[in-house]
Structure 1
Amino acid sequence: MASVSGSSDGTGSDTTVTMATSAPSTTGSVASDTTVTGAEAATTTPGNANISVRSYFYILPYPLPAGTPVPYTPGLPNVNPLNYPPHAFEPTSTLVLTSTSKVFIDIRIFKRIQPSDPELPNDGGHRERLEWAFAGKSTSYAIPDPHATPQHAGGGQGQEQGRQWVGPVQHAIWSHWVDSRYPVGAIAPKDEGTMYPVSATQTLEHGSSINPYTGAMMSYEEMWLDVPVQTCFPSTSKFSIVLVLDAPEAKVRGVVIRLGQYCQGIIVRDAVSTIERWGFEEKKGKNGKVVGGDWKRVARIGDDFLPCATTFQPEILTVGGRVRYGNHEWFVDEKVEWQDVMGQ
C-alpha cells in the first residue's frame, strides 16, 4: 500500500492507494453498463486516445426545413438560406478526454461574462458556470453520409454533397454513465451525432437533442479540434489512466481520466456534481528545451473530493487497484503507457 498525502495538490490527507494483488476487478467499470459489439469491442489501443477542444456550437431548427444544406456551418456567412446568425461562436471552455478504451469525460464551463469573474472557476464556487459535464463510453463506425443529396449519393466516400472530407463520415454514440444534469442511476437521453472529418485535426459534429433551456428539440453543429497527446517531463511515456467510483448505496458515481498532459474528473452525489480540470505546465530553459514542469488545477466547481492528483504518479497505480478517500473507493479501470515511434 502506498500513501499519498497533501491538500495543496488535491490528493487529500487521508488518501490511500492499494495495488492490485489479484485479477482486475470489474466492479465500478464504466464499460460494465455498456454493450459494445463487433469491431468496437476489440481493442484498447493508443490509437483510440483523443483530446478534443470544442471550437464552436451552433443551434439549428428541428426538424430542418427541406433543402437545408448539412453540414450547415461550413457555408457561413455566404451560404445562409435560413438567415441564421452569420457566424458560429463558442460560449464555453469545453475539453473532452477519450481514453485508449474509449471511456470519455466531457466538461463544459461557461466563459466569464464580467471582467471581474475568474477565467475559469477554481475555488469550488460558481456552480452556475458549469454548463454540462458527463462521462461514459463512446463508440463510432463509418456510414454513408445520411445528408447526401441524390446527385452525390453515389459519389464515393468523402465526396458527398460536393464537399471534400478527409476521411469516412462516422456515426458516433456517447453513452452517459454519469451526468451532471441527471441524478445517479437516471437514464440520460441518447447522445449521438454524425461526424464529418473537415481536416486532419478538425471534425464537425451534426446532430439533434433536447435543448435543456427550452425543453424543445433542436438541431446543432459543433466543431471539434484535436489536440496532440503529450508526455509530461521528465517521463518520455504517454499515459491513459481511468479511475471509476460506483457506490450505488450512497447514490454516488465518479470518473477521473488522465490523458497525456490533461486530467479531468467528475463525481455526482445523488444530483449534485463536482468537477475538476488539470493541465501540465512545462518549464523551459533559456535554450527552449523543457527542463521541468508542474501539474496545475485550472478549474474546480463543487465540494466533493476527486483523486485527480493520484494519476500524476502512474507508478503507484495498477489496473484493479484502488484509491480510497473517506468512505469511497475508486477503482483503477485502465492504465496504458506508450511511447511514440520515431518521435511521432
Structure 2
Amino acid sequence: MAQVCRALRRVTSCDPPWRRIARASLNAGFSRLGTDLMSSVPVKERVKVSQNWRLGRCREGILLKWRCSQMPWMQLEDNSLYISQANFILAYQFRPDGASLNRRPLGVFAGHDEDVCHFVLANSHIISAGGDGKIGVHKIHSTFAVKYSAHEQEVNCVDCKGNIIVSGSRDRTAKVWPLTSGRLGQCLHTIQTEDRVWSIAISPLLSSFVTGTACCGHFSPLRIWDLNSGQLMTHLGSDFPPGAGVLDVMYESPSTLLSCGYDTYVRYWDLRTSVRKCVMEWEEPHDSTLYCLQTDGNHLLATGSSYYGVVRLWDRRQRACLHAFPLTSTPLSSPVYCLRFTTTHLYAALSYNLHVLDFKNP
C-alpha cells in the first residue's frame, strides 16, 4: 500500500494502523496491558524489528573481553551499560548503533574487597552486593559511596525499590535496610530463611518481597515475606525436588512472578488467587540449569543456560523454544550469568566476554 502513492505511504507510516499488530508481536514495546512503553519510537519500525526476533535473524558480536574468568552482572539504563568485573562496577556509554560501546568507561565504582555478586540501579544509586558480606551504595553521578557489613557470608543478591533495600546471603538470612541518609547500614529486619538465598525481588507495591533459595532446607524455594514486619506470608509450590534452587526471580506485575533455576524450568506464578499457583512453565530442552531470565512485559521471554552460553528466546503463548543462540564453543563453555535486552539488541554476559545480538541490523 505504501508503494501506491504518497498519501497511502503517509497513512501506512502512522502509528494507529500498526498498534494492533504490535500488541501481538514479540518485543514491540507494548506491555501485556497494551501500554506503550516506547512512545518515542515509531510503531511501524518496532514491528519491523519484531519480525527479526520472531524469525531469529540477528548479527552476533562481542562488546567486551576480559582475561580472567568472571561471574559478571549487568544493568541497562538509558544509553548506558553497567557491568561488574571482579570487585568493580564499570559504566559504559553505547554508541548510536547500540551494538558497540565507547572504549573508555564513563565511571568506575569500587569499594568491595571481593567480587561483586549482584547489583541494581535505583534512585540514582548503585546498590551492590559483594562476596565480602558487604553492601555498597554508590551515587551514579557523584563520588559518594558508602559500604557497610551486612551478612556473615557473601551477599548473593540485592534489590531496591522505594528507598528500601533487601539482601539475601549464603548465611541463610535475608535482611531489610533503609536507603535514606543518616540511616544507611541500620538493619530493619533480619529473616531466618533456613536456606541459602540465591535471588530476591521486591514487589512493585512495596508491601512484600520474594526470596529464591537453594531448596535444601525446606520443600519450597520461593517464599514471600511481609516487607514491614518481616513475617512469612506464603510460599509458592510444594513439589520441588531437593536442590531445585531458584537463581533468578522477577516481578512482572504486582500479581505475577517469573522464576528459574536448577530444575531447568521457567515458571510463571499468579499471586491473585488464594492458591497462588504456577499457571505456565517452560522447560529447558537440554536439561540445563537456567541462570537468568528477562521478559519484555508481553510475549517475549529470554533465558540464559549453564552450558555453551546458550540464550533461548520463547514466545510465551507456546511451550516450545522459539530460537536458541549458542555463544561459546566447547573449550570455552560458560553459563550466561546475566542477560538484558532492548527492542533492538540483546546483551549476554559470560565468563570471558560480553556478547550482543543485533536484531535491528541482522
Q: What TM-score comes out, normalization by structure 1 length? A: 0.28
Of structures 1 and 2, the one scoring higher in RCO (CA 8 A, sep 6+) is 1
Q: What TM-score comes out, normalization by structure 2 length? A: 0.27
